[in-house]
Homo-oligomer: A and B are copies of this chain.
């Protein structure tokens, strides 16, 4: 019988995270203090983030960073996740390509987000922090952080993007089951939220605005830190357990990926699956392609601009050098809530600039079509975000079919969609639509990114 899954034992769970910053030929441009334009040092991040993560954020020296025992022990609750050969999906596509996926959906909260949530909650706890705040888009990150907070005995407050709060009430229930406080954002509980609601009382929210609210609450609450589910370098660092496991598992399968594909919101699941393989491109000249699948409704990599910009809507964060649509960009209400973010993380932006990765944009209907085909083949109903990676995989697999090429494709199944069934319902009822942003809209929104010239 053909081997379907490649399974690691607990002892094979990585003991170190991989820090790609140390290996990058061109280091990311510095993060800047928005008022003084001074280059940020770790200490400057301490008011917002825990100290360990602040140091990881700016660490360009250490190629490998130890995973604390307490974090690795919690990883054993659900890791290593399987690497799966998608035989049925290949057959459905009638492609000569070999398609593998890393199944992060089997984590208790249904996605990869737990990998960083556990690490961040642990580092906060170790430092004596008692309360943490965060934002969540689709609710995957909020659910993960809620459980991680519970594990380490922290109080947790989550600002959930309002459109997701309404579209995905069960995500909210999941966070509440773990014991978190969940507030739809924008809310009247912060200055940032009030400002947004004053300007537009029916604002649907976005990751950018929810981040502003969570940071504001963290700054105003004693012994409280903010945590972020993507974008930041330390989050991407924690997610490298995905790719490090996948690397061993691809060896078990006796293959090496020609392409690595992941959906792209802030970049954490993309980084997680990509960096460990990308280091062989950087260090040994391997030629693997790394493809970020972003929604056409929020095309920062394919149509954005490399600029210094804020990470949040209200402008509370440091200035980040990144591909952005402008921090004032208002993404359309697509169901892939986790991809509705205006910018790409700093490391990915530099890698993109330097040609180590590429990007493709996927329309909403195409993403669900691919997701349904995948569900009917492999059994797993993918999260709307993951559907974007699957759609990009379909594109490449069909190119292989046309060219008669037996390429090896690896994609990250970042999460399942069992809590997103209302979006599938709408897809089947024909109530979903595609969104195309005009060049004018992008140009207008990009004005908000032009910080250094202001």
Interface residues of A (CB under 8 A from B): 1-5, 7, 9-10, 69, 72-73, 76-78, 84, 88, 106-110, 114, 147, 150-151, 169-170, 173-174, 176-179, 372, 375-376, 378-381, 416, 418-419, 421-422, 424-425, 428
CB atoms of B372 and A177 under 8 A apart: yes
CB atoms of B1 and A421 under 8 A apart: no
CB atoms of A421 and B174 under 8 A apart: yes
The one of B88, B109, B151, B421 that contacts A170, using a Cβ cutoff of 8 Å: B421
A379–B150 Cα gap in the complex (Å)? 9
CB atoms of B173 and A379 under 8 A apart: no
Instruction: List, in ascending order, chain B residues with CB within 8 A of A173's CB.
Output: 421-422, 424-425, 428
Instruction: List, in ascending order, chain B residues with CB within 8 A of A147's CB.
Output: 375-376, 379
Q: Is chain A's binding surface mostly helix, strand, loop or mixed? A: helix
A324 to chain B, nearest CB (A): 34
CB atoms of B150 and A376 under 8 A apart: yes
CB atoms of A418 and B106 under 8 A apart: no
CB atoms of A376 and B178 under 8 A apart: yes
CB atoms of B7 and A7 under 8 A apart: yes
Question: Sorted from nearest, which 4 A-B pairs have the closest CB atoms?
Answer: A108-B379, A170-B421, A173-B421, A4-B76
A176–B376 Cα gap in the complex (Å)? 10
CB atoms of A428 and B176 under 8 A apart: yes
- Between A and B, 8 residue pairs with Cβ closer than 8 Å are A1-B72, A2-B73, A3-B76, A4-B73, A7-B7, A106-B106, A114-B379, A178-B376
A423 to chain B, nearest CB (A): 9
Instruction: List, in ascending order, chain B residues with CB within 8 A of A69's CB.
Output: 1
CB atoms of B422 and A170 under 8 A apart: yes
Q: Which of A4, A7, A177, A378 has the most chain B CB atoms inside 10 A of its CB?
A: A177
A422–B3 Cα gap in the complex (Å)? 38
Instruction: List, in ascending order, chain B residues with CB within 8 A of A379's CB.
Output: 77-78, 107-109, 114, 147, 151
A173–B169 Cα gap in the complex (Å)? 16
Instruction: List, in ascending order, chain B residues with CB within 8 A of A109's CB.
Output: 379
Closest to A78 in B: B379
A253 to chain B, nearest CB (A): 12
CB atoms of A4 and B77 under 8 A apart: yes
The one of B10, B84, B178 that contacts A4, using a Cβ cutoff of 8 Å: B10
CB atoms of A381 and B108 under 8 A apart: yes
CB atoms of A381 and B1 under 8 A apart: no
A74 to chain B, nearest CB (A): 9
A197–B379 Cα gap in the complex (Å)? 35
A378–B88 Cα gap in the complex (Å)? 32
CB atoms of A174 and B419 under 8 A apart: no
Closest to A114 in B: B379
A73 to chain B, nearest CB (A): 6
A90 to chain B, nearest CB (A): 13
A173–B422 Cα gap in the complex (Å)? 8
Instruction: List, in ascending order, chain B residues with CB within 8 A of A110's CB.
Output: 418
Instruction: List, in ascending order, chain B residues with CB within 8 A of A421's CB.
Output: 169-170, 173-174, 177, 419
Closest to A3 in B: B10
Instruction: List, in ascending order, chain B residues with CB within 8 A of A376's CB.
Output: 147, 150, 177-179
Instruction: List, in ascending order, chain B residues with CB within 8 A of A5's CB.
Output: 10, 76-77
Instruction: List, in ascending order, chain B residues with CB within 8 A of A170's CB.
Output: 170, 418-419, 421-422
CB atoms of B76 and A1 under 8 A apart: yes
